[in-house]
Amino acid sequence: MEEEKIPTRADIPDSDKWDLTHLFSDVGKWNEDVEWITRTYPRITEWKDRVAESPQTLAKVLEFEKQLDLKIERVYHFASLQLAEDSAKNDYLSRIGQLQNLMTKLAEASAFVVPEIQAIDDGRWEKFIADPILKDWKIPLHKIRRMRPHVLSEREERLLALGAAALDGYDDAFSQLTNVDMKFGVLIDGDGREKPLTQSTYSSFLLKRDRDLRERAFNQFYEEFKDHQFTLAASLGYSVKADAFRARARNFPSALEASLFKDDVPIAVYDGLINAVREGIPPLLRYYELRRRVLDLDQLRAYDTYVPLVPEIETHIGFDDAINKVISSLAPLGQEYTRTLADGLRGRWCDRYETKGKRSGAFSSSSYQAPPYILMNYKEDVFADVYTLAHEAGHSMHTWFSAKSQLFQNYDYPIFLAEVASTFNEELLTHFLLEETSDPKMRAYIINRQIDDIRGTLYRQTMFAEFEKVIHAIEEAGGALTLEVFKGEYRKLLEAYVGNAMAIDPSLDLECLRIPHFYHAFYVYKYATGLSAAVTLSQRVLSGEAGAVEKYLGFLKSGGSKFPLETLRDAGVDMRTAEPINRTIALFEKRLSELEALL
């Protein structure tokens, strides 16, 4: 039997890898910048007890920190991308560790700055902020002052800074365990060939027509998680404890409210999302029943929910063809957008394929003075990867427009907005692909893909968001977060979101331990709100509504200059209401009716 091996980075051409020389031409240059930061950052203490001296002094402190932050962002960007290339390489691990230690020292040294800004009384502060020398800093200073009730004394802030790296240890443990130590073995396909099972290839197996292969992939994959379930549960438990600790330390009622406060998002928006999606579950159950009938199954199971319902369509799309499709679909956004993205994707912004030790999944990662890089693990036989490319391109172009239009201190937009730009691109891609074909089978395939996208992004991520809320509430009420508690709470949600439409395998309870975002809590709800906002904005652009493109590009350019709900309101979406969520559920129902007719 022939075994298909995962290539090393040396096995693939440079044209398929990202070009990190835009950050540093070599590691020597990286070391020079790290040495500069190490040598320079102690000078911040020159302003201790002087930050509130005058607007001019405050401006000097902020500009000094800005120069440090520019360097730190750049060196960390480079080191994190290298680590994503190979999570087991000691040099890359050492650089990240070195930077984590350096940033802890820097945070400790500068811990006095924010408390001193906070200590300025309101009367004096009005005079400070009116001074022209601080005009470029009004937005970040407003955000700092808003945190006054949650900023601690200098000594307390120093202790939190010292403990930051240790408190985040659970995330590193989870990443190393799942990306490096865990081994999923190989599977023998219908042709007798051995194929490696990894976190990246798992999705490929779930798309195969061979149900026996899908079932074996599912069971073998989760068997490895079962072998490590107590370690994973401990990691997730300490993640929740760290969130609760930080929230209590900063005088927030809960970890959820602490997370939402930074973006000025009311808890009613989070709860409103869950309530609206819960009310919209009946169309999801109808879809599961359609899937069961079309696949001719007695019972639908988790490993049956990803295989395309149109068996005659098996796609093989090369990466360059994927680029062409994505660029063509984004034509409504204008030449500046499409030309910049095309040049970047063909000019090595993107690390294209899976290699040994490489981080699974996909992401876009950027810094102010460098290209917005994209990590992919692209598979030609996974149609969803074309969407993944469009998704990450949305993040990258959001960053590109923001960095071009905003000052460094205002360019970094919150995740709440990031997921709008990425899913907006997916909506345009679906529209383009449907316009491109008149083949009923291909149309059914694409519609099926959009339905699954809404299912995965709106329904599934909202279920995840509810799980995060539940487990944090248990911790904050003094409950114990054991393995059985995690599995039990997750099963309750599975039953609520799939009802009797799907048989729930016991192994599926372990899914709650393998989702990376659970180790960065209260992130996933932004996928659901982002999709809902993106559906609304994309429908306006595609309908040719006057000013819709300009408003959308204005949204991309705004960066972090406003709070996210205000930014979206200016673009034409009110996320304080259920209307965008209901519009997305309506699109799901519309596409489901089309799919039922086509099949």
Residues annotated as part of the active site: 392
SS (H, E, C) 21-81: HHCCCCHHHHHHHHHHHHHHHHHHHHHCCCCCCCHHHHHHHHHHHHHHHHHHHHHHHHHHH
Distance between CA atoms of 110 and 107, rounded to whole angstroms? 5
Tokens 């309750």 map to which residue?
492
Spatial contact of 402 and 509, defined as CB atoms under 8 Å apart:
no
Listed in order, strand segments (DSSP E) in 110-188 are: 186-188
Q: Which helix (H) or strand (E) holds 350?
A: strand 350-351
Distance between CA atoms of 533 and 327, rounded to whole angstroms? 22
Phi and psi at residue 206, in whole multiples of 5°?
-70, -10
Alpha helices in 86-137 (DSSP H): 90-109, 113-118, 122-130
Estimate the crossing angle of helix 564-571 against helix 415-436, to 10 degrees.
30
Distance of CA 146 to the CA centre of its chain: 26
Spatial contact of 221 and 202, defined as CB atoms under 8 Å apart:
yes
Tokens 């820097």 map to which residue?
106
Strand partners, 195: 187
CB within 8 Å of 503: residues ≥ 6 apart: 299, 300, 301
Please name the amino acid found at residue 218: F
Write the Ramachandran bin of 8: left for phi over 0, alpha for psi from -120 to 50, otherwise beta: beta
Find, among 582, 597, 470, 595, the residue nearest to 528 by Cα.
Answer: 582
Q: Which helix (H) or strand (E) holds 283?
A: helix 281-294
Strand partners, 455: none
Distance between CA atoms of 151 and 92, rounded to whole angstroms? 34
Listed in order, strand segments (DSSP E) in 125-271 are: 186-188, 194-196
Sheet holding 373-375, edge to edge: 350-351, 373-375, 363-365
Distance between CA atoms of 390 and 327, rounded to whole angstroms? 9
Radius of gyration of the chain (CA): 24
Q: Which long-range contacts (CB under 8 A, 24 or more apart) does 501-504 make?
A: 501/284, 501/285, 501/288, 501/289, 501/292, 501/300, 502/288, 502/299, 502/300, 502/301, 502/302, 502/305, 503/299, 503/300, 503/301, 504/302
**CA-to-CA dists, residue 512 to 214, 471, 516, angstroms:** 20, 11, 9
CA angle at 507 for the pair 285 and 190, rounded to the nearest 5° = 85
Tokens 């819960």 map to which residue?
278
Distance between CA atoms of 42 and 66, rounded to whole angstroms? 14
CB-facing half-sphere around the CA of 292: CA atoms within 13 A: 16
Max intra-chain CA distance, the chain: 79
Spatial contact of 186 and 3, defined as CB atoms under 8 Å apart:
yes
